[in-house]
Amino acid sequence: MENQNIQWFPGHMTKTKRKIQSSLKLIDVVVEILDARIPISSSNPDLSELISSKPKLVLLNKCDKANRAATNMWVSYYQKQGIRAIPVDCKSGRGLNKFVPAVREILSDKFEAQKAKGIKNPILRVMIVGIPNVGKSSFINRISKQTRAKVEDRPGVTRGNQWYTISSDLEMLDTPGVLWPKFDDNQVGLHLAFTGAIKDNILDIELLAMNFLELMQSHPTEEFLQRFKLKAEDIVDLEPYDALELIGRKRGMLISGGEIDTERAANLIFDEYRDGKFGLITLEYPEEG
Residues that bind ligand G4P (CB under 6 A): 1, 3, 61-62, 64-65, 89-91, 130, 132-138
Query: In whole angstroms, how close is the CB of 245 to ligand G4P at the nearest point?
Result: 29
Query: In whole angstroms, how close is the CB of 78 to ligand G4P at the nearest point?
Result: 18
Query: In whole angstroms, how close is the CB of 89 to ligand G4P at the nearest point?
Result: 4
In sequence order, what are the beta bridge partners of 260? 254
Closest to ligand G4P by CB, 44 vs 133, is 133
Query: In whole angstroms, how close is the CB of 117 to ligand G4P at the nearest point?
Result: 36
Closest to ligand G4P by CB, 65 vs 125, is 65
What is the distance between the alpha carbons of residues 165 and 174, in angstroms, rounded to a whole number?
10
Query: In whole angstroms, how close is the CB of 36 to ligand G4P at the nearest point?
Result: 8
Query: In whole angstroms, how close is the CB of 1 to ligand G4P at the nearest point?
Result: 4
Query: In whole angstroms, how close is the CB of 101 to ligand G4P at the nearest point?
Result: 19
Closest to ligand G4P by CB, 137 vs 221, is 137
143 within 8 A of 163, measured Cβ to Cβ? no
Closest to ligand G4P by CB, 61 vs 262, is 61
Instruction: Tell me the CA distances in angstroms from 38 to 13, 134, 135, 158, 268, one per residue in order.
Output: 22, 10, 13, 35, 21
84 within 8 A of 71, measured Cβ to Cβ? no
Instruction: Tell me the CA distances in angstroms from 208 to 88, 96, 172, 203, 263, one per residue in order.
Output: 28, 33, 38, 8, 10
Packing angle of the helix pair 205-218, 240-250 (nearest 10 deg): 90
Closest to ligand G4P by CB, 275 vs 287, is 275
Question: How large is the C-alpha radius of gyration of the chain?
Answer: 22
